[in-house]
Structure 1
């Protein structure tokens, strides 16, 4: 199956989709169902380490598109996050091949269409720029599965992708995924972080790399270094 052939599934089916498990150096070592990968393991005090991506999409005025996750999300429902965040799929070879930078970009194109309705030809592979990788862990809420209480957590190596459009962004929001969206300016960000419930990975991004990204790549328009080869990817930063 290719990224283009992927057809959106129900929430239950998506929770059963396989996502890539990785080791401490971000090498794929296997796969697990999305739900299983987020189970909190009390013995190790973490869920399974897996690969993810986070998209920061800016409009022509330099404002960042953020989303509030729907109440149906597996982890951190109703919290605000960046434009789009998800995982490559193990079943799509182009997303989990030898070039992880390209793989997460292909996954981003797929999810941007699914969550926000952004056409696949609106933002292409070359429009996404990899600006960092971070590893973070954060416990989430409990859910009930088969009448049993299950604790969930995030444990991810997260690829941070940015893109900017010079024309209005066509959106068709998937309400099963997103409760609402908003554009925020760099000046509005501190108050937004103070007043709103924020997902842990987005807060990490905002407190670390986002100010530099906003200044250098968006306001000043400097070109991003294109990280491509697996041996030349951004350092994995612990958050």
Structure 2
């Protein structure tokens, strides 16, 4: 876990411009809270059921959350902004590392969001995220150091999960404000492509 907290993350300003880099551990400390970039991913099976994981990480351990989420690193490969190439590279890297999904999968970027999470011990998160959907049946081989468990859930099961189990704050907001609606329109996601708009959560 300590190695992950030493990864260099990207710090951005209110206009989503990169202004520097800092370790994940320092970025998440409440006294240092700044906006960083992150990417929550949702893996869907052929029934369009999203995969939900049970976290085993340093922050929000024991909470249910999206299929996969992480921060792009402060390096040339993941800083590249043209056509969101840097974010795509980060997504492919982390989907393989965390869920064991090969890098030759089709991805759909839908929307940017900005959120500030509730406090979690001495940590908090203040980030801009690009939502990513991967829609295909996958064999998931999760990394046990990152994930305690996972499963594909119907919308009814997601509602019950939100009512009865601890979930990460961004997962609850994304599911309630976006996911329930989007899952009905996966055959044509073009109405939701708003590349110049960032939603505040």
The alpha carbon displacement at 1:103 in A equals 1.7
State the TM-score, normalizing by the size of structure 1: 0.79
1:109 to 2:109 alignment: no
Whose radius of gyration is greater, 1 or 2?
1
1:187 to 2:156 alignment: yes
1:47 to 2:33 alignment: yes
1:57 to 2:43 alignment: yes
Gaps of 5+ in 1: 1-10, 143-150
The alpha carbon displacement at 1:77 in A equals 0.9
Task: Determine the C-alpha separation between the residues in 1 that align with 2:48 and 2:14.
Answer: 35
The alpha carbon displacement at 1:140 in A equals 3.3
The structure in which a higher percent of residues are helix is 2
The secondary structure found in structure 2 opposite 1:152 is: coil
The answer to whether the Cα contact below 8 Å between 1:56 and 1:163 also exists between their aligned partners in 2 is yes
The alpha carbon displacement at 1:223 in A equals 4.2
The answer to whether the Cα contact below 8 Å between 2:64 and 2:166 also exists between their aligned partners in 1 is yes
Aligned to 2:180: 211
The alpha carbon displacement at 1:174 in A equals 0.6
Aligned to 2:11: 21
Aligned to 1:159: 130
The secondary structure found in structure 1 opposite 2:124 is: strand
Task: Determine the C-alpha separation between the residues in 1 that align with 2:131 and 2:196.
Answer: 10
Q: Please identify runs of 4+ aligned residues in structure 1 that moved more than 2 A.
A: 98-102, 139-142, 223-227
- Trace 1:92-107 onto structure 2 (pairs within 5 A): 93-99=76-82, 101-107=84-90
Aligned to 1:129: 108
State the TM-score, normalizing by the size of structure 2: 0.93
The alpha carbon displacement at 1:179 in A equals 0.6
Task: Determine the C-alpha separation between the residues in 2 that align with 1:82 and 1:61.
Answer: 17
Aligned to 1:146: none
Task: Determine the C-alpha separation between the residues in 2 that align with 1:134 and 1:173.
Answer: 26
RMSD: 1.8
